[in-house]
Amino acid sequence: MTWHPHITVATVIEDDGRFLFVEELKNGKLVFNQPAGHLEPDETLREAAIRETLEETGWDVELTGVVGIYLYTAPSNGVTYQRVCFSAKATRHHPERALDTGIVGAPWFSRDELASQPERWRSELVLRCVDEYLAGPIHSLQVVRD
């Protein structure tokens, strides 16, 4: 069997104690996730995080740091994902912009509002990334070398 880990990015965006999430349809169920997605050919990790956030939420963001790098194997399908999670601040909203297929909204929640709905998390990484963002440290963007 050939093992092919998937390289993904995610972005934790906070504004005054509230976090931007993606509400998406996955396997017939509405779930919450950070704006996240796969790295595309000829794209840097930073570019991927900015692009995925815009495509999934309609928000432009400015990356501010790195929350962490995670290795996660999805129990549903056995696929392994390497997730580079960035922190960012929202800079401009484009409410007229159509969101990616399968995305039904981009709600803002407090940490506790998210924590109260574990059945709606796409994976355990959703709350973990928020908690590790809050606990710190947030690492310099310089740790990501293009």
Structure confidence at residue 52 (pLDDT): 98
Fold of 6-136: Nucleoside Triphosphate Pyrophosphohydrolase (3.90.79)
Q: Which residues of the chain have pLDDT under 50?
A: none
Can you give the pTM of this predicted structure?
0.93
pLDDT tens, 26-59? 888 999 999 999 999 999 999 999 999 999 999 9
Could you state, in order of their start, the residue ranges of all structural domains in the chain?
A: 6-136
Structure confidence at residue 146 (pLDDT): 82
Structure confidence at residue 27 (pLDDT): 83
Structure confidence at residue 1 (pLDDT): 63
113-122 own/partner pairs: CB under 8 Å, 24+ apart: 114/19, 114/21, 114/32, 117/32, 120/30, 120/31, 120/32, 121/31, 121/32, 121/33, 122/24, 122/26, 122/31, 122/32, 122/33
